[in-house]
Amino acid sequence: MKIRNLFFKITFLVTVLFSFNHSLSAQTVEEGKTLFTANCTACHAIKDKVVGPALKDVDKRRKEAWLIKWIKNSQAMVKSGDPEAVQVYKENNESIMTSFESLTDTQIKSILAYVKAESEAPAAVPQTAGTMPAAGNNANTTNNQESNINWMLMIIGILLIVIISQVFKILSRIGEIQGKPVVTWNKTNGILMMAFLIIGLLATVWEFAVHGPLTVFEAGPASEHGVEYDSMFMITLVLTGIVFVITQVLLFWYGFKYKSDGKRKALYYPDNHKIELLWTIIPAIVLTVLVIRGLITWNHMTNHNDPKARKIELFAYQFGWNARYAGTDNKLGAHNFREVGVMNALGVDTNDVNAYDDVITNELHLEVNQPVDLAFRAKDVIHSALLPHFRVQMNVVPGLPTKFSFTPTVTTAEMRTKMNKPGFDYVLLCNKICGSAHYRMKMKVVIDTKEEYQKWINSQNVLVANKVKNKTVALK
């Protein structure tokens, strides 16, 4: 009897553990599907090559620990000399994979579990008429239910409109019978206007108070021209804000105060040349001053020609960025769009001697107080390079190189102290809706001291290592 009870207990325990493990596995795969859709579908598919290679059976080709490190920061593994990482990097035309250091090991394991489950899933069998599987029937049933609910909501909405319309007609008819209106709409609208004014102004104040600290203006500019840019922005905001408040208050207040009672007539005022001159000349002068100052500021921001400025190229693609640094000669090598993905991911002409010591990275490092000339190039669609803390934005257009020059003035460490945020990082974003994964198209930006920058740039690999040795200049 004791042995039988022990056997039953062990069987029950094994069943529970198996069920729990199966449920946990299903949850892991489901979470992996969500993470894969959000982070990976822009460049990868399970069974088809997209931007990157197909991921089918990747768990059989690589160890899990290696895959986790690769997904978190592939370039760090390539630079460390990991033979498998270097091989994968070269097999894919040296395309730089986006780093996902924000993902935890558990999340990456969920993604790998989903990839494994999809890899082992049988191929879809073509269905003939009348052989739709149960899952398909369930899906159709769900769609039909949703469609029916939508139709019901639409009918209910139409009925409500008809009922309200009839109620107003009845009230209007009652007013005609009684000889006075049941609802005084002029009075009601006047009260609603005042309520809208008060609620709107309070909401505006709340918006500035609550969300104002979340803007990049709270930290202050981190570039030379950013000081002038912020000054121009704040002056424009204050002037237009004052005009906005005055005009809105007057608009709604007059609507409330002078609501019609059916007895008073509006004053007919055909013209007043003095008032018309004032409201035409004053705005014209203010706008002219703002536009001229804006033009001067823009020219100052864009017409830089500093020979000491460091030459860097930002290369945009769906959905990431690469940075290319010129060597000691401060000359970027030529590029040819026909070579993109053939010799290297950026299409840099490796036969150009100026390209030998170029450095390609997936982080943008800049030296504080050092002018920089950023050249922008796009691989596929129109992107927009936004460096919000430096007050820099420039469209990145395929076949149409653009550029912007500026000088960073606050290091990353200084900004972290200033904002009291130890985890703060500058960032380069795409400010154009360029596709499904636009939201995660960003690059980490680091502002270093001179010593930190030299140490970092010297640790990077040059584009054509076997040729740069023959150059008269060295990457130092």
pLDDT of residue 262: 65
Look at the chain and report how many structural domains it folds into.
4
474 within domain boundaries: no
- The residue segments making up the domain with residue 447 are 310-468
**14/78 same-domain check:** yes
**387/413 same-domain check:** yes
279's enclosing H/E stretch is helix 273-302
**113/165 same-domain check:** no
The model's pTM: 0.64
Q: What is the pLDDT along the chain (476 residues), one digit of tens a residue?
A: 444 444 444 444 444 444 444 444 555 777 777 777 767 765 787 777 766 788 878 777 888 888 888 888 887 888 788 888 888 877 776 667 777 776 788 888 888 888 888 877 776 544 444 444 444 445 455 556 777 888 888 899 899 998 988 887 887 788 788 777 777 777 888 888 999 999 999 999 999 899 888 888 878 899 999 999 999 999 999 999 999 999 999 999 988 888 776 677 777 778 888 888 998 999 999 999 999 998 988 888 877 777 889 999 999 998 889 999 988 888 888 887 777 766 677 888 878 888 888 888 889 999 999 999 999 999 889 999 999 999 999 999 998 889 999 999 999 999 999 988 898 999 999 999 988 888 888 899 999 999 999 999 988 888 765 455 444 443 33
Other beta carbons less than 10 A from residue 93's beta carbon: 14
**166/295 same-domain check:** no
pLDDT of residue 133: 45
Other beta carbons less than 10 A from residue 294's beta carbon: 14
143 within domain boundaries: no
3-state secondary structure of 304: coil
**206/228 same-domain check:** yes
405's enclosing H/E stretch is strand 402-406
3-state secondary structure of 363: coil
Q: What is the largest CA-CA distance in the chain?
A: 111
350 within domain boundaries: yes
At how many degrees (to 10) do helices 64-72 and 83-91 cross?
Answer: 60
**326/457 same-domain check:** yes
250 within domain boundaries: yes
**236/289 same-domain check:** yes
pLDDT of residue 93: 63
**157/287 same-domain check:** no
3-state secondary structure of 431: coil
What is the distance in angstroms between the CA of the first residue and the CA of the last residue of the chain? 82
**216/353 same-domain check:** no
Distance CA 401, CA 313 (A): 10
**462/335 same-domain check:** yes
Distance CA 223, CA 357 (A): 28
**206/66 same-domain check:** no
From 138, 167, 183, give the residue that closes a domain.
183
140's enclosing H/E stretch is helix 134-178
140 within domain boundaries: no
125 within domain boundaries: no
**39/59 same-domain check:** yes
48 within domain boundaries: yes
